[in-house]
């Protein structure tokens, strides 16, 4: 566990030593909060629905930028050979790196908390719904990061890691969109592929539970299982390199 | 003792190392000589546990590298040919990071950090970032990171690359000094350098050992190596041990 902390500390410092991290944080907050504030002034409602509704799509664009460097940079800079010959289990390296990416995301995401303060100052928002929406966003973000972490481990090019992650996450999330599901159902009416994907595979219904104020054990488990599965697959990819 | 036992390493259909065997005894400093692409780096990567052998194995202190990789890694110091420095990290942070990853902490870590600074003459760059250091300093920082845990077995792939003549002398003397209690294997493609540094040279060409030479006091080392090497490259000699 001590090793995980050593890796975690190095990776977190590496984020804050990079200008890209600051640019990421500022642009992410400006964009997500900007979109929300526009809706807020139009609708004059003390809730965060307009914030959490487009968030999964915006996170698809931003979160791979956090994880794209995790392994691709090590491979490109050849420091991968150093890490691979240290007396440390690969799973410890993966956990340390992943934890740093999640904490960096949480620190950035904490920049949205002034919105909550503002809502409570101006009206009487549903606190439970806001808390569950935040929980859903954090779980979805952590899952996105784990998937992009896996994709970063298969390439030595950060840009490739970013683009592939955006594509995979888009396909994954959009498969749960109702409109996309009905279009797919229309293409193959007998198979009902769209509905099947949305109901059994997609993250959308689970995320929507949270944004409605429901913290369902099934949805929490869904995010945790996909996250764990992605990290386990990263471990397999990294271990395969020795062969 | 290090025992390389009929090691073969293939990349797809290409055989980089072909049934190589030799033994290294404590107190030995052994040069590993061969032209670029001869299989030196691949074999060192197998010995360091970075790569798995396709056939055969390596025993480090009696431990099989394919079965006890973490125990082997604790006992070896491996300097890869490629850069192993994180460019954005400060030199002191980097060495401390590698020390912690190798299980050092508290007073022992400080003691070894002080040793690194003293032995590699790093005091002037300790507060700088790795990327701000000259090529010679970078190589010395890498060497310090390789030796920070005081390993019993030292495997160095082209350790003098990037060093000026004065620094090469320093490394040469340093390796002679530490090899009294340890096993040191270092690779080079520069014949004169290997001849100057060691009593024993293993020559590799096209993935095969073509000579295992131990010098005596009367030998003109460079001439002897040149003769063996030229004959072997022209195909005039078979793999053999030359005393």
- ipTM value: 0.88
- Residues 86 through 145 of chain B touching chain A, CB cutoff 8 Å: 86-89, 93, 97-98, 100-103, 145
> Which among B50, B101, B142, B161 is the top mutation candidate for probing chain A, defined by the most A β-carbons within 10 Å of its own β-carbon?
B101
Q: Looking at residue A98, what is its pLDDT?
A: 97
Say which of B50, B97, B98 has its CB closest to residue A81.
B50
Residues in B touching A7 (Cβ below 8 Å): 101
In the numeric block, which tokens belong to residue B147?
Answer: 């030796």
Query: What region does B121 belong to: left with phi over 0, alpha with psi -120 to 50, or beta?
Result: left
Which H or E element spans position B203?
A: strand B200-205
Query: What region does A187 belong to: left with phi over 0, alpha with psi -120 to 50, or beta?
Result: alpha
Dihedral, CA atoms, A135, A137, A143, A144, nearest 10 degrees?
-170
> Which among A85, A240, A241 is the top mutation candidate for probing chain B, defined by the most B β-carbons within 10 Å of its own β-carbon?
A85
Alpha-carbon span B113 to B117, nearest angstrom: 6
Distance in Å, alpha carbon of A156 to nearest chain B alpha carbon: 15
| DSSP label of B91 | H
Burial of A99 (0-12, 13-18, 19+ CB in 10 A): middle
Report yes or no: B82 and B159 within 8 Å, Cβ to Cβ.
no
Instruction: State whether B87 and A7 contact (CB < 8 Å).
Output: no
Using the Cβ of A10 and the Cβ atoms of chain B, whether some distance falls under 8 Å is answered with yes
Using the Cβ of A239 and the Cβ atoms of chain B, whether some distance falls under 8 Å is answered with no
Low pLDDT (below 50) residues in chain A: none
Q: Which of A65, A82, A81 is nearest to B95 (CA)?
A: A82
Alpha-carbon span A190 to A203, nearest angstrom: 24
Residue A82: closest C-alpha in chain B? B84
Strands B208-214 and B241-242: parallel
Strands B200-205 and B183-188: unpaired
Alpha-carbon span B185 to B182, nearest angstrom: 10
Instruction: State whether A85 and B73 contact (CB < 8 Å).
Output: yes
Q: What is the pLDDT of residues A143-180, one digit of tens each?
A: 999 999 999 999 889 999 999 999 999 988 888 888 88
Distance in Å, alpha carbon of B61 to nearest chain A alpha carbon: 16
Report yes or no: B91 and B133 within 8 Å, Cβ to Cβ.
yes
Alpha-carbon span B16 to B38, nearest angstrom: 7
Q: How many CB atoms lie within 10 A of CB A108?
A: 22
Q: Which domains does chain B have, with CATH numbers?
A: 2-83+152-242 (3.40.50.300)
Q: Which phi and psi (to 5°) does residue B62 adopt?
A: 85, -5
Using the Cβ of A77 and the Cβ atoms of chain B, whether some distance falls under 8 Å is answered with yes
DSSP chain A: -HHHHHHHHHHHHHHHT-HHHHHHHHHHHHHHHHHHHHHHHHH--SS-HHHHTTHHHHHHHHHHHHHTHHHHHHHHTTHHHHHHTSSS-HHHHHHHHHHHHHHHHHHHHGGGHHHHHHHHHHS---HHHHHHHHHHHHHHHHHHHHHHHHHHTT-S-HHHHHHHHHHHHHHHHHTT-HHHHHHHHHHSTTTTHHHHHHHHT-SHHHHHHHHTT---HHHHHHHHHHHHHHHHHHHHHHHHTT-
Report yes or no: A242 and B50 within 8 Å, Cβ to Cβ.
yes
> Which among A4, A70, A75, A86 is the top mutation candidate for probing chain B, defined by the most B β-carbons within 10 Å of its own β-carbon?
A86
Task: Give pTM, 2 decimals.
Answer: 0.89
Residues in A touching B145 (Cβ below 8 Å): 82
Report yes or no: A4 and A96 within 8 Å, Cβ to Cβ.
yes
Side by side, the strands of the sheet bearing B55-60 are: B14-24, B2-11, B55-60, B63-64
Alpha-carbon span B110 to B116, nearest angstrom: 10
Q: Please give chain B's pLDDT, 243 residues, in tens.
A: 999 999 999 999 999 999 999 999 988 899 998 888 889 999 999 999 999 999 999 999 999 999 999 999 999 999 998 878 999 999 999 999 999 999 999 999 999 999 999 988 899 999 999 999 988 899 899 999 999 999 999 999 988 887 888 888 888 888 888 877 899 999 988 888 888 888 899 999 889 998 888 887 777 777 887 887 777 767 655 544 444
In the numeric block, which tokens belong to residue A133?
Answer: 């929406």
Q: Where are the domains of chain A?
A: 2-242
């Amino acid at each position: 566990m001590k090793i995980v902390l050593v890796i975690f500390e190095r990776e977190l410092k590496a984020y804050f030593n990079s200008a890209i991290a600051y640019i990421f944080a500022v642009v992410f907050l400006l964009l997500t909060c900007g979109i929300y504030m526009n809706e807020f002034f139009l609708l004059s409602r003390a809730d965060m629905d307009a914030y959490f509704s487009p968030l999964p799509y915006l996170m698809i664009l931003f979160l791979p930028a956090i994880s794209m460097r995790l392994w691709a940079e090590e491979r490109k800079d050849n420091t991968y050979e150093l890490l691979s010959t240290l007396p440390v289990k690969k799973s410890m390296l993966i956990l340390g790196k992943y934890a740093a990416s999640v904490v960096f995301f949480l620190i950035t995401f904490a920049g949205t908390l002034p919105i909550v303060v503002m809502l409570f100052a101006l009206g009487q928002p549903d606190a439970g719904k806001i808390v569950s929406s935040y929980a859903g966003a954090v779980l979805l973000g952590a899952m996105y990061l784990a998937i992009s972490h896996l994709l970063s481990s298969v390439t030595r090019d950060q840009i490739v890691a970013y683009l592939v992650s955006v594509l995979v996450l888009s396909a994954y999330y959009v498969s749960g969109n109702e409109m996309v599901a009905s279009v797919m159902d229309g293409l193959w009416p007998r198979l009902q592929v769209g509905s099947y994907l949305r109901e059994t595979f997609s993250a959308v219904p689970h995320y929507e539970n949270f944004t409605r104020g429901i913290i369902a054990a099934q949805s929490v488990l869904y995010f945790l299982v996909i996250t764990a599965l992605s990290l386990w697959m990263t471990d397999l990819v990294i271990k395969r390199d020795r062969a | 003792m290090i025992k390389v036992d009929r090691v073969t390493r293939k990349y797809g259909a290409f055989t980089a190392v072909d049934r190589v065997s030799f033994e290294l005894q404590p107190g030995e400093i052994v040069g590993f000589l061969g032209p670029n692409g001869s299989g030196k780096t691949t074999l060192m990567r197998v010995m360091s546990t970075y790569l798995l052998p396709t056939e055969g194995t390596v025993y480090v202190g009696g431990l099989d590298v394919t079965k006890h990789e973490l125990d082997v890694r604790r006992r070896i110091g491996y300097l890869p040919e490629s850069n192993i420095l994180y460019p954005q990290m400060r030199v002191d942070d980097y060495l401390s990071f590698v020390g912690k990853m190798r299980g050092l902490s508290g007073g022992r870590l400080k003691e070894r950090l002080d040793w690194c600074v003293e032995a590699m003459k790093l005091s002037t760059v300790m507060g700088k970032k790795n990327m701000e250091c000259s090529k010679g300093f970078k190589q010395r920082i890498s060497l310090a990171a390789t030796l920070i845990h005081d390993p019993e077995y030292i495997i160095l792939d082209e350790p003098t690359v990037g060093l000026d003549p004065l620094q090469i002398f320093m490394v040469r003397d340093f390796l002679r000094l530490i090899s009294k209690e340890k096993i040191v294997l270092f690779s080079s493609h520069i014949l004169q350098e290997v001849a100057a540094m060691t009593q024993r040279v293993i020559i590799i060409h096209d993935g095969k050992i073509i000579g295992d030479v131990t010098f005596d006091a009367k030998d003109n080392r460079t001439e002897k190596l040149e003769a063996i090497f030229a004959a072997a490259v022209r195909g005039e000699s078979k793999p053999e041990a030359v005393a």
